[in-house]
Structure 1
Amino acid sequence: MIQRKPRIRQYWHKGALHREEDERSASYSELFWDLIFVAVISNLGFMLTSDISANGLQRFVLTFYPMWRLWTDTCLYINIYSSEDLVEKFLLLWEMVLLIVMGTHASDIFNSTAAIFISSYVLARITYAFLYIIYATYIPMFRIHLITTTWGIIIPSSLWFAAIFVPQDNVVFMLWASVIFELFWYGFVPLYHRLRTKHPANHIHTRDFKLIDEPTLTMDSAKSSPPSPHKAMRTKGTEFSWKWTDMFSILKITEYRVALNIEHWSERLGLFAIICLGESISSVIYTSLNKYPDIFLAKAILGLVIAYDLHWIYFDVDASRQYQHALRRHTFTGILFGLAHVPLDMSLIAFGSSLGRIVTLPDFPDAEHTPKPMSLKEGEESSHEFSTPLAVLFCTSLAIAMYCMAIIGILHKSLDAVDCTKLSKASRISLRFIIGTLYILLPLAHLSSLNLLITIAVLSMFMVFVETYGRLKRNAPLFATKCGEYVNEIREDDEEDNIKRYIRWRWGSANLNKRRFSTGFFRQNKRDKNEKINGYNSNNDDNVDVVVKN
């Protein structure tokens, strides 16, 4: 289809979450969009390691953040408003073109390439502002939210654009002011609307549920009842006509609020972290001219071990067997969860790019008689000394990554009993802070590149072992003697006593609001499990989403 009618894929209304029936996952277009960032991130990492200084670090931050902002804008648009039509595909192509322009002109954003870099970024963001104004016309019940989002784009974009014309000494100040305002808007507006809402039923712990359109409709008769469009999707009527005051109703509270699809958003953040971590994988690959294993190969293997341990820690979340995600826990924890990924992603890029330099560094004994990697032999000259700035960049980036993962682990709420696991959550998370602090102190030891990688690999493996062992159920055997032994007991003990229900619907060409119902993400209590599931199984559209970490 060339163009579909604008729509909201999930939203809050008077404490009830209306959402699509089908589960969301990253589309092929989103994965191709991510592929553009693979090349862009590689370029940013190369520029960072080429100039390891305060000015180089500042340039890295001020070039990475706009690109991360564009990635976030696109993901949020697809998460909430995606129509999956031809217009949306060309929109993604347009954003990709502008992103390529930014990536190729990120080398000197304070001087010669500032105009084209900033202009491309502003144009990419203003495109979404223009799109949201159009949506505000077609979806009037969400007009206030769309206008608020539009102002959140226009105001900082104006600051970015003004940086082109200010004196060179003030460019950095204008860029930092724009970044701070965007981060403030990203966190303040959702939190403001959440705290000012008059419906406490919006809290995640709501158990009672009532249909909005037909309060007397039962679950058994829901499928047989004639569907009626929800009034949130109506676009006709004088009560929905534009008023000039609507353009300035930024913080007005309405009963309709758009909602994030948490599964899709958390998946997208995880995939972007994998892209940033992928910089380290590409860095350990080099062309060897030695017919025997050498120190370069040993350092590459150690670098791979460290990168895999980071991946392991990140996707183990807070090392709990059961947890409530930060995005579900509260608006405040959800905002911090998203913001924590900004320094995390930057630190992963810095780690990967510096790792590539360390792997090919010939600072070990008898290096003169060892064939150099192809990258060094054909042009890139390398000192035989392990420079302090490179060691500091490598270790500090690893430390920041560990601190961010520790903070993310704190934001998630553990649902394990106090005496459920072998080690408490506080002990496991504290270890991340301790290991991160040790990473920062390692450059003071003035180790060689090989010894530094060995030390960090041992520390990271120790942390992975402790967290993996600590999250095991107390008194559980380390090795099962039979297939499936102890699994059923763990799953039964991991059940929770709350259940959340919400409205879902299926998008279709005939009726955009054909309702279907399902249960939410909370686990049921063991004593109520059979009774509730048997009751819901009478409706074939019901399911129970369980988050269990084995």
Structure 2
Amino acid sequence: MTHGHPDEVNIQRTCEAASDPQDQDTSEDQEQSVYQEQKVSWLELFFDLIFVVAFDQLAKRLGQSPDAASLLHFGLLFVAVWWAWAGNSTFAARYGNETRTYRWGTLAQIVSLGMIALTLRGDLMDTGSAFALAYGVNRAIQATLYVTVSRHGPAAAAFAGRMALSFGTAAALWLLSALLPGGSAAQLGLWCAALTLDVLTPVFIRNHSRHALPHEGHLPERVGLLQIIALGEIVTEIVGGSRQQKLDAVNLVPALAAIITAVALWRLYFDQARALPLLGARVERRAGRMLAWLYGHLPFTLAVVVLSVGLGQGLAAAGSADAAGDQRMVGASLALALLTLAFLRWNSLRLTRLLYVDRSLPALVLGAALAVGLIFVDLDTRGTHLAVATLTVTLALFVAADPVTRRLGQLEEAIMERLAEGDQPESVEEATRQEPAA
């Protein structure tokens, strides 16, 4: 264990040479590269653990009043929290996690996120201004990180300078909104404008990101860690919901089914060739598919957290009239999660020539349709949880047995090996032709 890194997490990449990680020249062309690894640091793990609290606060907020207005507020706050995580993770994946700039900036962001988490559960009329102030500080820290990077040369400034301007403008909007009445339409409007600016900027300036493509091993690892945190929220909500009932066979069966659902969703997600879109971006020098991959995780993470609320509330309200509303929440969120998994798989498949032979993609879409059907059938809590577990386990087994799943994994490994050896393929299709069929 050295330099604050975990012993077990070891991710390797082809990336820019830098004699001193404290003074890394981010403007160097990524085509001139050496074999170098980038580990997930203890600081990054600490940063990600803040989101255990944030997701729990958001889940409890939605569980207390799952009406339409609360769901909209939940969605807005969730996007903001997710984007705070994405800003830190993509910066580390682009410019490294060992520089003094990143370490001090991340420590400052952890403090701001702690304050953000404190304000997530209360009514926006009471906490909206405090949330806006804390989030504005978080955006200002992120903008400062990109300002620092933009001074490393004209190539770095082309991307980092634009990101700094966007984040700085968004920070100003958040801080301005803190002066408005909490939860007012004007305040929420400024939040939406700031988030829209933040989220769309990387898309509009993607042609300037050739010198700032994310680490093709590091970013999938960080994204995977966040999904584990979200899936862990299912277990947290199940335990909380079970406290309202007796620990007998009637209540243990749906609790067990919900835990099995979490395990099946874990298998469905981690069976994907998760680094392939980033490898495609590096090989083809186009960031579009990488951004689609990253942004696709927002609805998946949101769906898993909402699913955790529905499963937990269903256990707590078993046998009451509220169970029907929880069933609708479970069906809708599971459908969104499965559709997102289908999108992520399609995003990987379109890099290859395997789209027409894949069986898992239509299976995931069919599974989403069946999940929507849960909204319209009348089941009790046990029936709902057993149906969800059966569906997710069936899909997990089907995807795991699909030869295309194994082929995508082999292709991902083959491209990584070629990059590690300094032999970059001209395209993903070329690597596909050289990779033996499964």
TM-score by length of 2: 0.81
- Local SS of the residue matching 2:396: helix
User: What is the match of residue 328 of structure 1?
Assistant: 279
Sort the Cα spacing of 1:142 and 1:186 in 2 relative to 1 into closer, same or farther, 3 A: closer
User: What is the match of residue 197 of structure 1?
Assistant: none
1:279 correspondence with 2:233 = yes
Match of 1:52 among 48, 66, 78: 66
RMSD: 3.7
Equivalent AA in structure 1 for residue 221 of structure 2? E
Superposed displacement of residue 337, structure 1: 0.7
Give deviations 1:172-191, integer Å, cap 9, x for gaps: 2222222222221132211x
1:446 correspondence with 2:378 = yes
- Local SS of the residue matching 1:22: strand
Superposed displacement of residue 60, structure 1: 1.0
Q: Which moved more, 1:137-146 or 1:277-286?
A: 137-146
How far apart are the structure 1 equivalents of 2:147 and 2:310?
A: 43
Sort the Cα spacing of 1:153 and 1:302 in 2 relative to 1 into closer, same or farther, 3 A: same
How far apart are the structure 2 equivalents of 1:525 and 1:183?
A: 32
User: What is the match of residue 389 of structure 1?
Assistant: 325
Superposed displacement of residue 39, structure 1: 1.4
Q: Is the 8 A contact 1:496 1:523 kept in 2?
A: no
Give deviations 1:190-220, integer Å, cap 9, x for gaps: 1x437xxxxxxxxxxxxxxxxxxxxxxxxxx
User: What is the match of residue 185 of structure 1?
Assistant: 201
How far apart are the structure 2 equivalents of 1:74 and 1:498?
A: 27
Q: Is the 8 A contact 2:336 2:368 kept in 1?
A: yes
1:357 correspondence with 2:313 = yes
Match of 1:28 among 36, 42, 52: 42
Q: Is the 8 A contact 2:234 2:309 kept in 1?
A: yes
Sort the Cα spacing of 1:293 and 1:523 in 2 relative to 1 into closer, same or farther, 3 A: farther
User: What is the match of residue 264 of structure 2?
Assistant: 309
Q: Is the 8 A contact 1:344 1:404 kept in 2?
A: yes
Superposed displacement of residue 418, structure 1: 6.1
Superposed displacement of residue 18, structure 1: 3.5
Q: Is the 8 A contact 2:61 2:122 kept in 1?
A: no
1:518 correspondence with 2:422 = yes
Give deviations 1:364-397, integer Å, cap 9, x for gaps: xxxxxxxxxxxxxxxxxxxx33433222111111
Superposed displacement of residue 163, structure 1: 2.3
Fraction of identical pairs, as percent: 19
Q: Is the 8 A contact 2:245 2:251 kept in 1?
A: no
Superposed displacement of residue 324, structure 1: 7.8
What stretches of structure 2 of length at least 5 have no aligned partner?
4-19, 281-285
Q: More relative contact order in 1 or in 2 (CA 8 Å, sep 6+)?
A: 1
- Local SS of the residue matching 2:422: strand
Sort the Cα spacing of 1:189 and 1:359 in 2 relative to 1 into closer, same or farther, 3 A: same
User: What is the match of residue 261 of structure 1?
Assistant: 215
Superposed displacement of residue 436, structure 1: 0.9
Give deviations 1:525-548, integer Å, cap 9, x for gaps: 8998xxxxxxxxxxxxxxxxx9x9
Aligned pairs for 1:103-182 (under 5 A) are 103-108=117-122, 110-166=124-180, 168-182=184-198
Superposed displacement of residue 145, structure 1: 2.3
Superposed displacement of residue 292, structure 1: 7.3
How far apart are the structure 2 equivalents of 1:261 and 1:495?
A: 14
Q: Is the 8 A contact 2:306 2:333 kept in 1?
A: yes
How far apart are the structure 2 equivalents of 1:525 and 1:412?
A: 14
How far apart are the structure 1 equivalents of 2:296 and 2:63?
A: 23
Structure with the larger helix share: 2
Sort the Cα spacing of 1:157 and 1:457 in 2 relative to 1 into closer, same or farther, 3 A: same
Aligned pairs for 1:175-324 (under 5 A) are 175-190=191-206, 192-193=207-208, 257-285=211-239, 293-317=248-272
How far apart are the structure 1 equivalents of 2:128 and 2:178?
A: 7
How far apart are the structure 2 equivalents of 1:497 and 1:279?
A: 35
- Local SS of the residue matching 1:443: coil
- Local SS of the residue matching 1:339: helix
How far apart are the structure 2 equivalents of 1:41 and 1:296?
A: 25
Sort the Cα spacing of 1:19 and 1:395 in 2 relative to 1 into closer, same or farther, 3 A: farther
Equivalent AA in structure 1 for residue 103 of structure 2? K
Q: Is the 8 A contact 2:101 2:145 kept in 1?
A: no
Match of 2:339 among 383, 403, 409: 403
Q: Is the 8 A contact 1:25 1:263 kept in 2?
A: no
Sort the Cα spacing of 1:42 and 1:395 in 2 relative to 1 into closer, same or farther, 3 A: same
1:461 correspondence with 2:393 = yes
Q: Is the 8 A contact 2:130 2:178 kept in 1?
A: no
Q: Which moved more, 1:401-410 or 1:125-134?
A: 125-134
Q: Is the 8 A contact 1:118 1:164 kept in 2?
A: yes
How far apart are the structure 2 equivalents of 1:134 and 1:76?
A: 15
User: What is the match of residue 253 of structure 1?
Assistant: none
- Local SS of the residue matching 1:439: helix
Sort the Cα spacing of 1:290 and 1:457 in 2 relative to 1 into closer, same or farther, 3 A: closer
How far apart are the structure 1 equivalents of 2:416 and 2:192?
A: 44
Equivalent AA in structure 2 for residue 403 of structure 1? L
User: What is the match of residue 424 of structure 1?
Assistant: 357
Q: Is the 8 A contact 1:299 1:453 kept in 2?
A: yes
How far apart are the structure 2 equivalents of 1:268 and 1:36?
A: 13
Equivalent AA in structure 1 for residue 255 of structure 2? A
Larger Rg: 1
How far apart are the structure 1 equivalents of 2:35 and 2:172?
A: 39
Give deviations 1:280-305, integer Å, cap 9, x for gaps: 12223367799974122111110011
The count of aligned residue pairs is 409
Match of 2:24 among 3, 7, 18: 7
Give deviations 1:483-513, integer Å, cap 9, x for gaps: xxxx9xx99x9799989966x8xxxxxxxxx
Q: Is the 8 A contact 1:501 1:518 kept in 2?
A: yes
Equivalent AA in structure 1 for residue 317 of structure 2? L
How far apart are the structure 1 equivalents of 2:398 and 2:231?
A: 22
Aligned pairs for 1:439-518 (under 5 A) are 439-471=371-403, 518=422
What stretches of structure 1 of length at least 5 have no aligned partner?
195-255, 364-383, 474-486, 505-516, 529-545
